[in-house]
Structure 1
Amino acid sequence: MMKSGFSLKMMAPLAAAIISVNSVAQQPSEQNSEAMETIEVTAQAANARSDIQRQRASNKVVAVQTSEAIGELPDANVTEALQRMPGVFIARDQGEGRFVGVRGIDPNLNAATINGVSLPAPETDSRAVALDVIPSDLLASLEVFKTLTPDMSADSIGGAIEIKSINGLDHDGQTYKVSVENGYGELQGENSPKLAATYTNQFSLAGRTLGVAVAASHQQRNFGSENIETDGVWEQYTALDGSVGVTAAEIEQRDYTVTRERTGLAANFDLELVDGSQLYLHTLYSDFADDEERQRNSFKLDEENDSPDTVSASGVIWSDAALEKELKDRFEEQQVLSVVAGGSHDLRSWGVEYALGFSRAEEAEPDRRDTTFVQEGLELGYTRAGKIPKMFAADARAMDAASYALDELVVENNFTDDEEVSARIDFRRDIDVAGYPSELKFGVHERRREKTGDLNATVYDGFGGDFTLADFANGGIDYGLGDFGPGVDKGALNAFINANLDRFDIDQTSTALDSARDYVMHEDISALYLMNDIDFGRTNLTYGMRYEATDFTAEGYRVAESGEAIPDSEEIADDVYVSAVSYQRDYRNLFPSVNVKYDYSDNIVLRAAYTESLSRPSFGDLNPSAAEIEYDEGELEVAAGNPALDPYEARNFDVSFEYYTDALGIFSLGAFHKQIDNFVVTADVASTADYSLYVGSLPVQEAEIFQPINGDNATLSGAELAWTRGFDNGLLLRANATVTDSEADLGLGADAGRGNKISLPSQADLVANVVVGYERDALSLRLSTAYKGERLLEVDLEDDAFDLYEDSHMQLDFSARYRFENGMQMFFSGVNLTDEPFYANRRGYNGQYETYGPAYVLGVTYASF
């Protein structure tokens, strides 16, 4: 399975790039010589000092990381760069960081902006923005605000993430940087090249200064993963032989091969008119393409029998079971565009700032193909449960490709669009309050958002002949988590589909059920605020009020399979009925906030804050169209949204102590407490659901209906520790940890089949980072580890023993950099050095286990500054 060591192939494109860049580096100028001194200054210690100074100056609780500090670590995108900051954790996809959580809280409960404009989400279901679409090369800085002021949007319970792209006015004269690298992943043994460049300059324009900054980045990453996971829940069975034990009815083996391409471009223009007066145009474009091939074995253990033959703590045997082999062939492309134009002007004692922003995110999944081959009548099971179930097939036919019949082909064309137009104008006025200087600030903010989903699926179940996997089999799957057997050859299968698709038989019922998932959601937010920032000498007080009015509408479809006509519905296929549905919600909120900063001494800063905020449910949770409806002989499986959800509402308390040493160093200790109403949890609501919404009058003997619901209330308390210390010998130590504890009330009532108290969904109990850096002369080294504790992912309303938890995760990374005198730098990084897997479990029983392998990067950078 594992392919270790570096490939000689990975060195060829890198060597060519080094020769190319060196040809530029052989022409140094006086400007380059001066810039070399700057590089020495802005190394590890100076980067840490800059971050600390910005944190200290803020009137809010904030963590800061500048682009220079990001460049010292092996982080390829914004998400992975953020994980190093205090209180921040990331949720991964295929081993890569995608979504960001703050203080152990669900990533959907954060706000993200770039250059002051809210970022839309290209995913169909998510409100959280997958920040991995933005390459870290385009950044000037990252800021994570953990307390809010009234001039900030209130839609953040975890934290507000502000991304700032590069600015030409922040650099003197012309600068440029070129970076070339190549990565290598052990699991797949594939190379992953990347090229990035930045350019800034200042121009004189009619006596005014125009700053221009352009950055571009392109990466192709070839990698994969190996996975085994349980589809559904583990529950107690009584076997046919009388034995009793816990088992699952369906377990899947999965093997992924992925190619991801990221292309990013930022172009920023800042015009300095006079002192205190500027105009700007900031743009960012990102294209993220994900080409995924997934080979899957699905062990359908309860295909014919409701009970296993025998079951024990370590194994299970089911007779007359089925084994499905499936190929998912999917290409997905996401595009994010952000444009903001505005200005700021100081007018004596008055000031005004204004901005008009447009952001758009699109996701296209054209011609996705899921093809299934099936073999029935097998004796299947496992001889080991736990983290990695060891699957077995008693019949040798399970390894015979000719024994698998072509059963089903699903072709999907899915498109999502998320668009927002925003406008803001802010006024400020310098005034005296009892003889103390202060700033009065007020403004109006408007946001108009539309998210649409056009989701289409065609299900084919007849192919004009008796085709088997042997007609399309490959040479076998290299899979390290068990015996996989033959897989599907993508090229041979696609050639067959392309030549014959028009002649295939369509399953009209399944096609109708799977295609009535379109939706349109509008979310309009109008805000007014008033705040006052008073400087009492050692004490700074920032307080005020924000008002937000939210108008939300959702339009979609209710689709049902029924044995008889459903009133006010249209029959779109035999016994499949659909009707349009719409929901409308308006709510108004006031958000008071107080932030106090007290400089106790030259070295000690004390802070306290009270803020109120909200987080609106994710768009997938609000979707009025069911994502999945499957009905088969009395068994019903549904995944549906809930547009009637209330938003989360939170009251937040923060206190902190910060000690700044005279040398490079900071020690901070903070505590926070959040009281949250209306938290959202995904649960199986089959015991209380109305089945007729999905199957009309058809009988239902067994059902699983997963739907988000509002819980009652929750509390989250925690402590946050951060420490940075630099030493004269070049050693730099950074450590931070956030410990949280939460309790949420499901509000199920006293007669519920399980306890009402749970931890807050998606809350990690411990988030920690340790970075050991060393710098001496031209050499810079960093060893970093990121830890995320256990968190609850899914609630079983019938038995809390089978709630789904993500296990703790600790990843070890290393980076090294060497600076040459001509402005050249060479760097190396190793990511996930200990091959840390992803593991989710139901109290010791497999939910999902996935491994990715270590990855390495070798590259070169040339900079003129």
Structure 2
Amino acid sequence: MTKTVFNLKLVAPLAAAIISINAAAQEAPTAQGEPMETIVVTGQAANARSDIERQRDSNKVIAVQTSEAIGELPDANVTEALQRMAGVFIARDQGEGRFVGVRGIDPNLNASTINGMSLPAPETDSRAVALDVIPSDLLASLEVFKTLTPDMSADSIGGAIEIKSINALDKPGQTYSVNIENGYSDLQDENSPKISGKYTNRFDLGGSELGVALAASHQERKFGSENIETDGVWEMMEAEDGTEAIGAPEIEQRDYTITRERTGLAANFDLKVSDSSLVYLHTLYSDFSDAEERQRNSFKLDKGDLQTISANSATWSDATLDKSLKDRKEEQEILSLVFGGEHNLNEWGIEYALGYSHAEEAEPHRRDTGFEQKHLELGYSSAGDIPTLFASDAAAMDASQFDLDEIVIEDNYTEDEEVSFRVDVRRDIEMAGNPSELKFGLQERRREKSGDLNATVYSDFGGDYTLADFVMNDVDYGLAAFGPGISKAKLNAFINENLGSFEIDETETALSSARDYVMNEDISALYVMNDIDFGRANLVYGVRYETTDFSAQGYSVAESSEAIEGAEEIAEDVYATEVNFKRKYSKLFPSVNFKYDYTDNIVLRAAYTESLSRPSFGDLNPSPEAIEYDEGELEVEAGNPALDPYEAQNLDFSVEYYADKLGMFSVGVFHKNIDNFIVTADVSSTVDPSLYVGALAVDEAQIYQPINGDSAKLTGAELSWTQGFDNGLLLRANATFTDSEASLGLGADAERSDKISLPSQADLVGNFIVGYERDALSLRLSTTFKGERLLEVNMEDEAYDLYEDNHMQVDFSAKYRFNNGLKLSFSAVNLTDEPFFTNNSGYNGVYEEYGTSYVLGLTYSSF
């Protein structure tokens, strides 16, 4: 379903104001009494040239995008701005870009820093930072480093992302800008306002100069999605009539209504004490909230008896249909403070920085409520991307037939805090008559991530209630008929008035709440490097030594009919054992980066580097994420604190051609040998289920856990092309092709193939941008493509491996600059209504639609 009507009632007043302001400006005389003339602006070409020059000058393989170039694209945050750069793709959540991958590699294998210091992650399970919390209005530039030098942290196999916020000393003096926008989501028919502004100034302090840069941004975005997904995987099933085919245990229809608010604040102070001395304080604060209301139908097919099945249809008798409502609001905060200085002392120089970063995520008063109807004949009449579900009983969607089954109320809090310090010392020396810079330094990082997770499960409500007591109109769900929904207002009123009389399910409450954890990670690093200038050539080589001290504390919790030795009984038949884990490891990371200006137009590069990526905190968590046991069926999502980090040896070669006018073409190849890669696998065939259910009988188990594979090889090629034309046309294209092979280390007796592609690796990542600029008009049509990725591995049969499908999105932006400092902008995102789709062997995993969104904005700038 795609709606195409734009809400003109809300954009018309903004458009009228723009026209009137511009008309008044055009009629207003100048100081000499003459009409003002239109200023010709060539922003796209100038921005592209600036990005290319910075890339050419770098002694590493790098991609650059300045704030001005970002402003030409329809991107609201850092993540979505990064997706336009060569070799970069994004992982989306509800259609919005959140996490960033480089060279087709898992986003968890990148490092992200802002103003030179690492960013913490407020999410419970992630090491990768969801960069969508940082508005693009706060940026000076984005840099993606694809090779490393010893003065950079080694924790990056995909790439290192450096975010630089605005700096007043880079501006000519006092500057300011104000931007107002209104967005519109056609799927939800909702409007989303945004306002942002920037101010910079330089102050003469009598022999020194102070630069002050301030930026603020606030957006409230209302949107949603429609989804159908399989809980579990499609697998071979046999029906009672003897038929056999691939079938699904449970299929869910989901309808999301979402409100996301982002507030970003930056205040940067740079004091130029003298020509050779600078001290600074850079601050960033981001507040992000995500309010989500999810209506869900769960066709619990495997709760019934499979009567008949074919390749495209199946029918179950005595099955169960659940209707549920999730009502939750996540609130995230990120604070980054960096104090530092740079001092040049003749041949010597010193830089230092002290950083403090804090991130937190609170999920207060989350409510999940379920209604249940049993003994139904359910099934699907078609499979594929969007299974067509049916209920034979006409009363299956009768609200009065759904009994109130369960209410879960959660209060969750996650905190991530890091204190870091670094000092870098350099000395200008000569090497065989060539100027060079010797550099050495140290870095200390102290990080703690903790989670306080609490869930109370209620199963008796002091009476018999049905969905009819809380019903609302049928849910507007474009993928199929959904039936009646659950009124959030009615349900919350009922809970607030009667919560004290509800009966707590002690067993489920204990299982759901024993998930607290504390993880500490201390990293110490020393390095030395030499940067030699040979005239047309440049060589940077050196070594970095890093030590990691990791500890984790959590709980192993199990439901058991018998006591478990060494465990504490926290509820009837529920036992918890405290888990403590410690490990320490060190590694040496050599690196060499070589650059050679073969001609005035051709640059050759080669690099050898070694790096690592530490496992995500969700993978390391000693406390299981979820344990579900029902009538002999067990499903577990668990972490693994004993995971080894990824280790990689990286080779890079590239040739870059720079035209005399605006033009650049580059081709590069890279190869990575990766040890200890991590994959989420169904390990039920190798893990004892009694760890989670004690002596309870288990007929069928699905235990998902991250494990270390053996080794992997990844080889890729990267192409990038930019060409500007005298007629105002600008073309930019890039593509990264990767191919990988990883070994699970299963041994010769394994039933499935030991070889897989590297998990979460996309085989093709590409961008194509057509820009046009003439006088005051600027247009951009942008296409991004991300290839298929392996998400989950089944250790017994590769047919059940889960893949994310190809994704190609088309966006458009248009800007018109008036002659009085005003700029009118319009953008359309996801013009082709591209869905998100995952599958195993072509069968539905998740199919989700987001629709197209539009933004109309007005900016006033003093420059």
Give the TM-score taking structure 2 as reference length: 0.98
Could you say which residue in structure 2 is the equivalent of 1:171? 171
Q: Please show how residues 341-490 of structure 1 align to structure 2 within 5 Å.
A: 341-490=339-488
Corresponding position of 1:248: 248
- In the alignment, what sits opposite 2:683? 685
* 1:843 shift after superposition: 1.5
Q: What is the rounded CA distance, in whole Å, between the counterparts of 2:27 and 2:193 in structure 1?
A: 26
1:123 Cα deviation from its structure 2 partner: 0.4
**Counterpart in 2 of 1:797?**
795
SS of match in other structure, 1:513? helix
Q: Distance in 1 between matches of 2:15 and 2:311?
A: 55
Distance 2:601 2:630 in 1: 69
Unmatched runs of 5 consecutive residues or more in structure 1: none
Separation of aligned partners in 2, 1:372 and 1:624:
29
Describe how 1:230-379 pairs up with structure 2 within 5 A.
230-305=230-305, 308-379=306-377
Does the CA contact (< 8 Å) of 2:38 and 2:819 recur in 1?
no
Structure 1 pair 40/427, CA: closer, same or farther in 2 (3 Å)?
farther
1:533-587 CA-partner distances (Å, limit 9, x unpaired) = 0001111000000000000000001111111111111111101011211100100
Aligned in 2, Cα 1:351/1:13: closer, same or farther, shift over 3 Å? farther
19-28 or 179-188, which deviates more: 19-28
- CA–CA distance in structure 1, aligned partners of residues 756 and 675 of structure 2: 14
Would the aligned equivalents of 1:14 and 1:181 in 2 still touch at CA under 8 Å?
Answer: no
Amino acid at match of 2:793: V
Checking the alignment, whether the CA contact within 8 Å between 2:148 and 2:154 is kept in structure 1 is yes
State how far apart, in whole Å, the 1-side matches of 2:824 and 2:16 are: 14
Instruction: Work out whether 1:820 is the aligned partner of 2:796.
Output: no
Partner of 1:571: 569
Between the aligned partners of 1:747 and 1:24, the Cα distance in structure 2 is 73
The equivalent residue for 1:636 is 634
Q: Look up the SS of the partner of 1:693 in the other structure.
A: helix
Whether the 8 Å contact between 2:177 and 2:859 is mirrored in structure 1 is: yes
- 1:779 aligns with 777
1:136 corresponds to: 136
| Runs of 4+ deviating beyond 4 Å | 15-31, 36-42
CA distance in 2, matches of 1:70, 1:775: 15
Q: Is 2:603 aligned against 1:620? A: no
- Contact 2:39–2:775 (CA under 8 A) maintained in structure 1: no
Q: Deviations over 1:227-282 (max 9, x none)?
A: 00000011111110011101001000000000000100110000111112111000
Equivalence for 1:194: 194
Correspondence for 1:203: 203
1 CA distance for matches of 2:28 and 2:94?
42
How many Å apart are 1:819 and its aligned residue?
A: 0.6
- In structure 1, give the amino acid aligned to 2:707: I
Whole-angstrom distance in 1 between the partners of 2:196 and 2:20: 14
Report the CA distance shift for 1:99/1:37 in structure 2 as closer, same or farther (over 3 A): farther
Structure 2 counterpart SS, 1:475: strand
Q: Tell me which amino acid in the other structure corresponds to 1:216.
A: A
User: Contact 2:380 / 2:387 at 8 angstroms: preserved in 1?
Assistant: yes
Q: 2:2 touches 2:833 (CA, 8 Å); kept in 1?
A: no
- Aligned partner letter, 1:264: G
Provide the secondary structure at the position in 1 that maps to 2:80.
Answer: helix
Q: How much is the aligned-residue C-alpha RMSD, in angstroms?
A: 1.8
Matched position secondary structure for 2:856: strand
Distance (whole Å) between structure 2 residues aligned to residue 177 and residue 597 of structure 1: 39
Query: Tell me, what secondary structure is at the counterpart of 2:762?
Result: coil
Name the CA distance, whole Å, in 1 between partners of 2:39 and 2:779: 15
Instruction: Tell me the matched-pair count.
Output: 860
Does structure 2 conserve the Cα–Cα contact (< 8 Å) formed by 1:25 and 1:862? no
> C-alpha deviations, 1:635-686, integer Å up to 9, x for none?
1111000000000000000000000000001000000000000000000101
**Contact 1:428 1:439 (8 Å CA) reproduced:** yes
How far did 1:28 drift? Answer: 9.9
Cross-structure match for 1:527: 525
CA distance, structure 2, for counterparts of residue 245 and residue 548 of structure 1: 53
SS in 1 for 2:485: coil
**AA partner of residue 51 (structure 1):** D
Distance change (3 Å), C-alpha of 1:72 and 1:700: same
| Distance (Å, rounded) in 2 between the aligned partners of 1:795 and 1:38 | 60
Q: What secondary structure is seen at the aligned counterpart in 1 of 2:302?
A: coil
Kindly report which structure 2 residues correspond to 1:690-729, keeping only aligned pairs within 5 A, or say none.
690-729=688-727
**Map of 2:105 onto structure 1:** 105
Say if 2:772 is the partner of 1:769: no
Check the 8 A contact 1:149/1:543 in 2, yes or no: yes
Corresponding residue SS for 2:273: strand
For the 8 Å contact 1:25–1:824, the answer to whether it is kept is no
| Amino acid aligned to 2:724 | G
Partner in structure 2 of residue 862 of structure 1: 860
CA distance in structure 1 between the partners assigned to 2:770 and 2:11 by the alignment: 28
Offset of residue 633 of structure 1: 2.1
Give the direction of change, closer, same or farther, for the CA distance of 1:693–1:37 in structure 2 (3 Å limit).
farther
After superposition, give the CA deviation of every residue in 1:277-336 in whole Å (9 maximum; x if it has no partner): 11100000111110100000000001143xx10000110000000000000001011111
Q: Which moved more, 1:694-703 or 1:466-475?
A: 694-703
Could you tell me how far apart the structure 2 residues matched to 1:145 and 1:20 are? 46
- Percentage of matched positions with identical amino acids: 74
Q: Which residue of structure 2 lines up, in the alignment, with residue 545 of structure 1?
A: 543
CA, structure 1 residues 175+246, in 2 after alignment: closer, same or farther (shift >3 Å)? same
1:238 and 1:245 in contact (8 A); partners too: yes
Contact in 1 for aligned 2:761/2:790 (Cα 8 Å)? yes
Deviations 1:198-254 (CA, angstroms, capped at 9, x unpaired): 000000113211111001000110000000000001111111001110100100000
Could you tell me how far 1:39 is from its partner in structure 2?
A: 8.2
C-alpha distance in 2 between matches for 1:706 and 1:25: 64
Deviation at 1:22, TM superposition (A): 7.3
Per the TM alignment, residue 408 of structure 1 is displaced from its structure 2 partner at its CA by: 0.2
- Shift in Å at residue 696 of structure 1? 1.2
Summarize the Cα distance change of 1:27–1:552 in structure 2 as closer, same or farther, 3 Å threshold. Answer: farther
- Aligned ranges for residues 661-680 of structure 1 at < 5 Å? 661-680=659-678
Query: What secondary structure is seen at the aligned counterpart in 2 of 1:236?
Result: strand
What secondary structure does 1:465 align onto?
coil
Distance 1:689 1:66, change over 3 A: same
One-letter identity of the residue aligned with 1:339: L
Secondary structure of the 1:50 match is helix
Would you say the 8 A contact 1:121–1:128 is kept in 2? Answer: yes
| Matching residue's letter, 1:338 | S
SS in 1 for 2:303: coil
Counterparts of 1:601 and 1:705, CA distance in 2: 58
Distance 1:777 1:805 in 2: 46
Partner of 1:162: 162
SS of 1:314's partner is: coil
Using the TM superposition, give the Cα deviation of residue 12 of structure 1 relative to its aligned residue in structure 2, in angstroms.
5.9
The answer as to whether partners of 1:90 and 1:97 remain within 8 angstroms in 2 is: yes
Q: Structure 2 counterpart of 1:418, which letter?
A: D
Q: Distance in 2 between matches of 1:766 and 1:636?
A: 37
**Deviation per residue, 1:139-188 (Å, 9 max, x gap):** 00000000000000000000000000000001111000111110111101
For the 8 Å contact 1:21–1:862, the answer to whether it is kept is no
- Distance in structure 1 (CA, Å) of the matches to 2:22 and 2:120: 40
Distance 1:40 1:265, change over 3 A: farther
Contact 1:10/1:183, CA 8 A, preserved across alignment: no
Deviation by residue 1:349-389 (Cα, 9 ceiling, x = unmatched) = 00000000001111010000000000000000000001000
Q: 1:603 aligns with which of 601, 604, 618?
A: 601
Distance (Å, rounded) in 1 between the aligned partners of 2:227 and 2:497: 32
